[in-house]
Amino acid sequence: MKSFIRGTAVLMFAIFFSKLLGFIFRIQFMRIAGEEAVGIYMTAYPAFIFFLSLVQLGVPIAIAKVIAELDVKGKKEDIQSVMTTAYLLTFIAAIAFIPASISFVPYLATNLLGNAASAGALYAGIAIVPVAALGGLIRGYFQGIARMEETAWSQIIEQSLRIALITWFLPIILSAESNAMNAAYAMGITFLAELASILYLLFKYSQQKRKRKTTKSNKKLYPLEPILAISLPSSGSKLFGTFTWFLEPIIFLRALSMSGITAVAATSLYGVISGVLIPLLLFPSFIPYALSVVLVPAVSGAAASSNKKKLRSRIHLALRLSAITGTFAATVFFMHGAALTEKLFQVTEGAHYMTILAPVFFFYYIQSPLYSILQATGAAKAGMMNSVYGGIAKLGVMFVLASQPGLQETGAVLAIGFGVLVTSFLHIATLRKNKATATGFSMFVLPYIAFILTVIIRPIFVPLGYVNLWFECAITAFFLLGILLLTRQLRYSDFMHFKKLRQFQR
């Protein structure tokens, strides 16, 4: 348990810092470029991720696993041949998919997204693909030899440079006449930041190769079968995830255009929802994400040793902490989300949707730990299908509701929340079938009741709007903390875990 909590805490800090830098980038981008430019950028970004997934084909994950196995077995001479094969596979995939992606852009921008202005950002996104694909391979190499420092520093370099360029360089080249050009400039800034990150990784990679010169390298190509056996299944699930994300702006914009909203207005709304509201709602999610990463080996080990007590304690602690994090996020964002959006991003239109999304996104905070538990307990396929059903439900409901003149963007927001609920409840229902975990819906009820009680009681005792916004948030969090302590959802032992972190040894 000690190593489990310590590993989670260390990972939390790393993810928090990365998310903080990304959050600062979004704030600066919105303030400098405006809602329409952010909207165009956000409609193009899912397409870039989908094109990147096509080129990568899960190879980075595969080489990380293969290299890790070779390193453990002492077959270091084969590591370079694995990289050579990975380079070849990625090059062939790039030759096949990048020209097809380029030729697809005009149809995607004009016919599917209904906004020809997004073409420039899409082309700029495709330019990033080969660079990002190379970076994925090198990150896979470092992950395989168990050196995560290089990856962490490369992310810090990338995010820091993005913030610097968006803050000081974008205002110089900003076009007052064309938001489409501003979105393309922002995608170009992403390209430069990614390039700087890859150059750092290449430098560290060459250093690592020089250190390994004492080992004779196998110059032959590593067999394709072991790499493809891992890469293709993993790429299948990832491709579906990125494909549903790729479809989201298409369906969002098409449905709103059917309801009578112009393409420009719909693009701006999508930028606010996907580029402002959802990232703000998910900012505290570094806690459950870190728990989900640590959970897989921790729960797998407990399950393999048939230690039901350890299995249940780790699962329950992770889910309880994730639920509590979600409760704080739901409460603060429900009561102050619109004000925070206006203060941080200087956005007023669409900020009120925080009151719809916040209560639902409580369940998003338990989603990733639930999926990790399903993976660790042998129900990975069921977990993946739950995500598939949730994605399909979201897109279907979005098209139906957002195309209604009386609902429009409110319907799209409701659909996003519906997708979160479907996936989360299916995960819980699947986990309930495993009696060894002793997990059900009841363990999430009390934290949610605490959220409802705080929303009702807090304005009665301390009316809203009398103090600074940050004090308002602190007062709300204090009320919730008191209710959680009274209902024993937060316990003294939870604080003691983190107090003793310095004493813990891996």
Q: Is residue 174 part of a domain?
A: yes
Say whether both 436 and 298 belong to one domain.
yes
Query: What is the rounded distance in angstroms from the CA atom of residue 38 to the CA atom of residue 315?
Result: 39
CA dihedral of residues 30, 31, 34, 39 (deg, nearest 10) = 0
Say whether both 209 and 293 belong to one domain.
no
Say whether both 38 and 153 belong to one domain.
yes
Apex CA 220: angle with CA 215 and CA 225, to 5°? 110
DSSP-assigned states of every residue in 327-344: HHHHHHHHHHHHHHHHHH
Question: What percentage of residues in the chain have a pLDDT greater than 70?
Answer: 86
Please choose, from the candidates 129, 154, 139, 127, the residue with its C-alpha nearest in 3D space to the C-alpha of residue 83.
Answer: 139
Q: Is residue 88 part of a domain?
A: yes
Q: Is residue 18 part of a domain?
A: no
Say whether both 49 and 116 belong to one domain.
yes
The residue from 163, 190, 224 where one domain ends is 224
Number of domains in the chain: 2
Q: What are the tokens at 352?
A: 């009120």
Domain region containing 274: 233-498
The residue from 204, 224, 244 where one domain ends is 224
Say whether both 204 and 277 belong to one domain.
no
Say whether both 249 and 305 belong to one domain.
yes
Per-residue pLDDT of 371-387, as tens digits, reads 877 876 777 778 888 88
Please choose, from the candidates 81, 87, 78, 96, the residue with its C-alpha nearest in 3D space to the C-alpha of residue 59.
Answer: 87
Query: What is the rounded distance in angstroms from the CA atom of residue 318 to the CA atom of residue 43?
Result: 34
Q: 57 falls in which pLDDT band (50, 70, 90)?
A: confident
The residue from 224, 247, 277 where one domain ends is 224
Q: Is the pLDDT of residue 462 over 60?
A: yes
Q: Of how many residues is the chain composed?
A: 506
Please state the pTM of the whole predicted model.
Answer: 0.83
Query: How remote is the C-alpha of 131 from its chain's centroid?
Result: 20
Say whether both 206 and 243 belong to one domain.
no
Contact between 66 and 226 (Cβ < 8 Å)? yes
Say whether both 195 and 263 belong to one domain.
no
Say whether both 114 and 40 belong to one domain.
yes
Q: Is residue 181 part of a domain?
A: yes
Say whether both 330 and 456 belong to one domain.
yes
Say whether both 103 and 80 belong to one domain.
yes
Say whether both 215 and 239 belong to one domain.
no
Q: Is the pLDDT of residue 317 over 70?
A: yes
Per-residue pLDDT of 201-260, as tens digits, reads 999 888 887 776 655 556 677 888 888 887 777 677 678 888 888 999 999 999 998 988
Per-residue pLDDT of 380-428, as tens digits, reads 778 888 888 999 999 999 999 999 988 889 999 999 999 999 999 999 8
